Amino acid sequence: MRYLLLTCTLLSLVVFTACPPSPTEPNLYQKWLNSYEEETNSAEERCYRPADYNFPQSRQRSGFEFKEDGTMSIFYPGPTDALVTQAGTWTRKGDNQLEVKLANQSKPFLIDIISLQDGLLKIKPPQINPNPSTIGLLTKKWYNSREEETDPSVERCYRPDGFEFPQSRGRSGFEFKENGDFVYFFPGPTDRMESKTGKWTSVNDGKVSVTLDDPNPNQNKTFDIEINTLTNDVMKIKPPRISANAGY
């Protein structure tokens, strides 16, 4: 009997030594929210807790959700604190490294897991977007640079306030403010500039949703601005359907 127990014990040790459990698999498949209160150096390490964790009261928290089928999503507060969600897929690159590909970004990024234990996920700060954030680039006043457009029915070009435009009649444009306020300005029937205010929220890196406070009868109350190109110096977009009749 003693020999039988000893044999079983040795076999158990061999099995567990040969097939160690993955440190990240069992608890990864859930929604994780940033527990920034537990971070000592957010430039080197980010902390996340499951969504049902008893967090201190705060504004919206950014985070991730990983699913067993290889899909995932990231979410973060937009300029008005409304959560912005981006969908994507993930694959394992190693025991403690994941590769993530977001649907609206051409390049994947890596999530390096430092530890996952006791309901606390620690990762290195991921390089989700190596370029300046869309919100940081967008929040300024933009004027239509129609002289640079080859086909305005396909793409509209805008330059920021301060650009040296050729002399012309009034130029339409947009102003995106950091607090989520939005201004649409345009020449009226007598060429006098008019404006409409509203709110804007970021849907993703390539789309902004706008709601006007008090649109004209021929204007849509809500419309999207789809961004093709965005740098500090130029913004190119698809013609937005501001007009309730035939688009822009």
DSSP string for 157-215:
EEEETT--PPS-S---EEEE-TTSEEEEEEE-TTS-EEEEEEEEEEEETTEEEEEESS-
Same domain, 171 and 76: no
Instruction: Report how far residue 199's alpha carbon sits from residue 183's, in angstroms, rounded to the nearest whole number.
Output: 8
211 part of a folded domain: yes
14 part of a folded domain: no
242 part of a folded domain: no
pLDDT means per 10 residues, the chain with 248 residues, are 40 36 62 91 88 87 91 76 80 90 77 92 77 66 95 94 88 88 88 90 77 92 91 91 75
Same domain, 60 and 93: yes
The answer, as to whether pTM is greater than 0.85, is: no
Same domain, 119 and 161: no
Domain that holds residue 158: 134-237
Same domain, 91 and 149: no
Same domain, 152 and 114: no
Per-residue pLDDT at 105: 66
**Bridge partners (DSSP) listed for residue 188:** none
CATH number, residue 199? 2.40.128
| DSSP helix, strand, coil percent of the chain (3-state; round to 5) | 15, 40, 45
94 part of a folded domain: yes
How many domains, the chain? 2
68 part of a folded domain: yes
- The residue assigned the tokens 């099995």 is 15
Per-residue pLDDT at 242: 92
Same domain, 85 and 139: no
Same domain, 189 and 105: no
Same domain, 82 and 151: no
Of 65, 97, 123, which closes a domain?
A: 123
Per-residue pLDDT at 132: 41
9 part of a folded domain: no
Per-residue pLDDT at 85: 81
Same domain, 106 and 188: no
Same domain, 141 and 225: yes
172 part of a folded domain: yes
112-117 contacts at long range (C-beta below 8 A, 24 or more positions apart)? 113/23, 113/24, 114/45, 115/23, 116/23, 116/24, 116/27, 116/28, 117/23
Same domain, 116 and 149: no
Of 123, 156, 189, which closes a domain?
A: 123
Per-residue pLDDT at 20: 39
Same domain, 109 and 196: no
13 part of a folded domain: no
